[in-house]
Chains A and B, each alone.
Chain A
Amino acid sequence: MRKYRMAAAVAALTVLCAAGASALTGEEIIRKMESNLVYNTSKIEGSMTIDDQFGKKKSSFVAYSEGDTKMLLEFTSVEERGQKVLRIGNDLYLFYPDASEVIRLSGSALRDSLLGSDFSYEDMTGDKSFLEDYTVTLDGTEAVEGHPCYRITLTAKSLSVPYPKEVVWVDTQLFVYRKVEKFALSGRLLKEMVLTDYISRSGRNIPTGVVMRDVLKKGSSTTFRIDKIDIGIKLPANLFSLEELTW
């Protein structure tokens, strides 16, 4: 689910690919989604808003990407302003402006929460399919708010993932998720993620709005929104480097 969730948080990139969908296995559906998360280049401005009984807390960011292995994310909201995350391949670096310090994330630190969200730094690393962490079962098809979807159950192979079980409804036409349910080890439903908005651009269907609700906390939700996205733009040659990270 890692790339899947990262798409909601930052990239929200999927490709319309409906032909031949009915013959797909669960793994093939997941791989199609993963393979559709790649652009040549992109620039995204977005935000994450946590809404609970105390009100809304919003964090905003701008992210640049090149292929599926390079990304530079800079937080623009005032509380985290200047903090940056650089990903090149499987290497992830953080920059904290107060300490003027670069920290390389590896191993367990990759599992740390990004901005206190459900998304981890590991979600940003490339090459590793979430199929490595989950076994996939295609349960059949169900409609979500009138949209035909594949219902897929993901069962974790180890306890190294935040949710031992997740159920995903993937649109059979758009190959974007319509709904995700996340379960505890006991089988109790913890969180529900729903696609609220998407745009079609350059033949791709791009989720631009996702709401994650904490089932255990009444009135608590996290909304991810892409405010602006540019695809296929020219990026500076040295954008994905330690030099840019510390600039």
Chain B
Amino acid sequence: MVKQPHALAAALVMVVSGSMHLAAESRTSVDLSSVLGVTRISGEAVASALTTGKLDISAASNPNVRGELQLRATIGNAAAGSGAAVTVPRAYLKVRLPWFRFMIGKSRVSFGRGFFFDAGDVIFGGAGLAVTDLSASVLRDDTTWLLETYLPLGNFSYLEGVLLPYLGAGGVFGSPASTSLATDLTQVLTPVNWRNLSGGGRAVFRLAGVDMEAGYLFSGTSGVHLPYLAAAGSLGVDWYLAASATVPVSEADWPNLGERLAFSAGLFHLFRLSGDASIAGRIEGLVLPGGSWERASGGITPSTLPAVVVSGGTAAWPSASTVTSTFTSRYGLYLFPELDYSPSQALSLQLRSIVSPIDASATLIAGTGWNVYQGLTLSGYLYAMLGADDATFGWNQPGGIGAAVGAELIF
């Protein structure tokens, strides 16, 4: 556990050592984390280990030009489900011109509002349930290749457009992020039919003290239009909500549009206790009117949006019923409660859960983080799935119960 991060860091440094000396004004940071866990798979208790190294190099030599290259290497055993992989989560250039700015490369644009559930995130999906690490400080950080333009319209308003040549399925349920450098290379080396390009934009503005956002995305991969609205404000507690529709290109099927709507909402409140202690509570909900509102016999297996079929250069968009099935293959309601207690500057206790009320199941994680030394955080977590065998979070699923300890060092 000690040698592994150092070897990983050395490997990452070697990868970029050729470029580092050329960029004297670049800033470099390394994030190493190792986790050792015990979980249950196929009725047996198994141990697993996962080490991740992230090297980030950002250019800061010019106030109007920025660039960032981020490499991530992951090493884990089979129980951790990762193997070994190197990915490039971010590699982009940002350029600011007098009237607008643009960004090109691999990065992230966050549409909508929400911490875990965000029906307005029509690019990466804010309605998915597959989170690999519920203990992470950032739960949604997927990236993709994009061309972004940004037109500021005052202090609080702007227009933003995006072109996404290699977007996965897109839509509110998102799609799995790239898991290897080879996948990234395959994407950029494979010509994309123009009908499969994805793109859209959003307008962000303030109305009567409420932050408003209206946007649209066309997913060329899935053949759907994705308009959405989002808002955020405060009424004693902070609130935010988002709504989106999924409209198939092949057949709008307006009468049944309600079955392809998604809504998310959240409340957040923080209590500052005596001294530097605080406790924060959050509750988010995801509502899919077209989802199942009764417990399904045999359980529900969520699937992502169907991808368009391309044959001989002609794209075949999926039918409305096919798209609708991606909604009906989920339950109509999910919840995300979170409680975070920080008794001191260096210690935090956290409780998070994803709840599926309709089939009475939940995944629960309780843990603690301790910032011991400069850049070092030690953590420990217990997690469990609580539900019947065929529930969304069935207790006997692989990894359905376990414990983990870990350490993270940023330098």
A positions within 8 Å CB-CB of B? 50, 52, 54-58, 78-79, 81-82, 88, 91, 96, 98-102, 104-109, 111-113, 116-118, 120, 160-163, 182, 184-185, 190-191, 222, 238, 240-243, 246-247
Contacts and interface: CB of A to CB of B under 8 A. Distances in A.
28 contacts: A52-B346, A56-B374, A57-B346, A57-B373, A78-B29, A81-B29, A82-B58, A91-B156, A99-B108, A99-B138, A100-B109, A104-B232, A107-B235, A107-B236, A108-B238, A111-B271, A112-B272, A112-B280, A113-B278, A116-B342, A116-B371, A118-B276, A161-B272, A162-B272, A162-B276, A184-B275, A243-B101, A247-B94
B373 A54 contact: yes
Interface in B229-243: 232-238
Nearest to A115: B345
Nearest to A120: B272
Contacts of B410: 78-79
Interface in B356-411: 371-375, 410-411
B150 interface: yes
B275 A78 contact: no
A96 B29 contact: no
B87 to A, nearest CB: 15
A58 B141 contact: no
A113 B66 contact: no
B83 to A, nearest CB: 24
Given A78-B410, A88-B155, A108-B238, A113 B108 contact: no
Contact of B345 (A50, A82, A101, A104): A50
Contacts, number: 126
Nearest to B235: A107
B141 A99 contact: yes
Contact of B270 (A81, A98, A104, A109): A109
A88 B157 CA distance: 13
A98 B268 contact: no
Contacts of A118: 275-276
Contacts of A54: 372-373
A111 B29 contact: no
Given A56-B374, A241-B152, A98 B274 contact: no
Contacts of B270: 108-109, 111-112
A101 B112 CA distance: 10
Contact of B272 (A106, A111, A184): A111
B278 A112 contact: yes
Contact of A190 (B108, B269, B271, B275): B275
B27 interface: yes
B175 interface: no
Contacts of A106: 233-234, 238
A109 B316 CA distance: 48
A109 B239 CA distance: 11
B138 A107 contact: no
B269 A108 contact: yes
Contacts of A163: 274-275
Contacts of A116: 276, 342, 345-346, 371
Interface in B182-219: 204, 211
B107 A191 contact: no
Nearest to A78: B29
A84 B25 CA distance: 20
Contacts of A55: 373-374
B152 A242 contact: yes
A102 B96 CA distance: 19
B140 interface: yes
A182 B274 CA distance: 10
Given A241-B156, A243-B158, 17 more contacts: A56-B374, A57-B373, A98-B138, A99-B141, A101-B110, A106-B238, A107-B235, A109-B238, A112-B278, A113-B272, A113-B345, A161-B272, A162-B276, A191-B275, A241-B154, A242-B158, A242-B204
A111 B279 CA distance: 11
A184 B277 CA distance: 12
Contacts of A241: 152, 154-156
Nearest to A241: B155
Contact of A96 (B58, B109, B138): B138
Nearest to A111: B272
Contacts of B27: 81
A246 B109 CA distance: 11
